[in-house]
Structure 1
């Protein structure tokens, strides 16, 4: 997949430069334009045709929410100091793919960008038609249900919570230690979560021998 093209919109020139730097550090993302007001943002979308817009709400000529409503054919990640619920709700209703409250760190933006890239990859991998479970995974509505024989819903939820809260990949042994399960049981639940699309297997290759199986939360 080619680089994700990004437009950064912020009324503060220095903040826009900082955010552009954050984006440029994330592999697979490239800033193609920067705008400092709503009118220029709309013009930049038409001219540069970005895949993603990092859009501030407080702009000098119009609200970023109005810009959001006027945009078509592009994804938008809202970045704003506004934290009131009506504003967040309006951004969601307008179709924003995420909402990041200022001030934020490079790591926080990087995480959102990686989530966005992962969703794009999943969409590409699905093909021309999606099944219901494909859509469930994209929208995060996949639930732990219809457990295979020998697995417990409550224990599976414990393993899922542990993997999610770890914030990094875990081995079956590490998961077992954190949950109090045996390593074999932990691995069975981790493999089930992978099959359900809520986790992914990430082999770690050492200097010799078979790779270590590690698991990362997808949700």
Structure 2
């Protein structure tokens, strides 16, 4: 079983996320913490395999917790996934540089968390199959670092990689799909800007466009990330 520590300042949200985890085969909740200090203690006491870490905590923020865990040799190996409503690029960049495996933006569905945890389970299993001195294949490296080489990404003039990452995370977090208006609200972009990024992902075959028909007027374009 993969043991998970859930860290969230909101008791009900932590309970919901814990319920999501418990419904996924192969995962169990090892513990719950509601402050940064409690999270650090729980990691030392429980030694979980994975920490689902919120950014907004009443004492230490999640990025500070992440840095402390990475700086301590006793906890540096524990994997951490950020689960938060924080969607500013600076925080996302800090999580990436701090060594977080993934960054899931609230609110998200049970399916979105399940997809990330199943990916983590595949990574966890593969890492245990490879001996420390063995040579890894490229597919193993892709699994560890992500499926798409960062250097291969190109964007039309006026689009930035940082904002594209934000839009991508929003789509990944909502497998039911997003409209341009919904994406704009989640990412704090203007609706035209959000639509430009969404259309770019559709044009490059990273997102799928589905039309949702209502009673009257033009159908709504909804964007779904291609997994």
Aligned CA distance change for structure 1 residues 136 and 24 (closer, same or farther; 3 Å): closer
- The runs of 5 or more residues in structure 1 that have no matched partner are 144-166, 168-218
SS of 2:60's partner is coil
SS of 1:27's partner is coil
* CA displacement, residues 58-113 of structure 1 (integer Å, 9 cap, x when unaligned): 00011100000011221100001011111100000000000000011111100000
Q: 2:144 aligns with which of 138, 146, 158?
A: 138
Q: 1:86 aligns with which of 90, 95, 107?
A: 90
TM-score normalized with structure 1 length: 0.62
- Give the alignment's Cα RMSD to 1 decimal: 2.0
SS of 2:100's partner is coil
For residues 181-196 of structure 1, the aligned pairs below 5 Å read none
Aligned residues: 144
For residues 52-201 of structure 1, the aligned pairs below 5 Å read 52-71=50-69, 72-128=76-132, 129-133=134-138, 134-140=140-146
How far has the Cα of 1:121 moved from its partner? 1.4
CA distance in 2, matches of 1:137, 1:69: 23
TM-score normalized with structure 2 length: 0.60
- The runs of 5 or more residues in structure 2 that have no matched partner are 70-75, 150-174, 176-226
Q: Which structure has the larger Rg?
A: 1
How far has the Cα of 1:137 moved from its partner? 4.5
